[in-house]
Amino acid sequence: QMSTNDCQDPPEYWTIHGLWPDKAEECNRTWHFNVSEIKDLLSDMRRYWPDVLHSSLNRTHFWKHEWDKHGTCAATLEVLNSQKKYFGKALELYQHVDLNNCLLKAGIKPSSSYYQMTAIKEALTRFYGVTPKIQCLPPEEGEKAQTIGQIEFCFTKELQLRNCTALKGESALMQADLKLGTEELSVCSDTLPTYYPSQVQ
């Protein structure tokens, strides 16, 4: 989608997609996103939660979407019950998880050779004490490797890390959330070789 939109200088580090309550979407359609409520967070938001697909629209399009769809539901928790708290807490969790640093420390970095998915999972589980959900783009025709696209951490309502075990009937809900062009992310296969690119091609 980079060429059809105006993605400029995509970051070469992991950024935030969102903070999602599991069971609900679009809980309050009258509670509209207002960027002035998060003005104190904007420099961190632009850095760690960039909208790489809608850069010309003042880059707030992605945040509005995440607030409308997920933030209005997360707001049932007191710790997330305003736009400032919702976005601020997501930034805080991002810093706390520190995925970029953790992967580097585990020796997992972008490479032209392939990784075993089980080795990546084990390294993350060892580091965090919980198992995240790793999502991939499936191999394109004629290719044998999947490509890492997203790493999802799961939290309790107290915002403590927990294992991401898919509850029955839940997996389909989360998997279709991010479409890259015509490709969709889905939970990575443990058996396919895995590509971790330095940039999305």
pTM: predicted TM-score of the whole model, two decimal places = 0.87
**Alpha-carbon span 9 to 20, nearest angstrom:** 27
Query: What would the two tokens of residue 193 be?
Result: 């070789």
Q: Which of 54, 65, 70, 92 is catalytic?
A: 70
Q: Which of 26, 37, 61, 66 is catalytic?
A: 66
Query: Is 70 annotated as catalytic?
Result: yes
Query: Is 17 annotated as catalytic?
Result: yes
Strands (E), the chain: 115-116, 133-137, 146-152, 154-155, 161-162, 179-180, 183-184, 186-187, 193-195
- pLDDT tens digits, one per residue of 82-126: 999 999 999 999 999 999 999 999 999 999 999 999 999 999 999
- Which domains occur in the chain, in start order? 1-97 (3.90.730.10), 111-196 (3.90.730.10)
Quickly state the pLDDT bin for 159 (edges 50, 70, 90): very high
pLDDT score recorded for residue 184: 84
Q: Which of 12, 17, 26, 122 is catalytic?
A: 17
Number of H helices, E strands in the chain: 7, 9
Quickly state the pLDDT bin for 59 (edges 50, 70, 90): confident
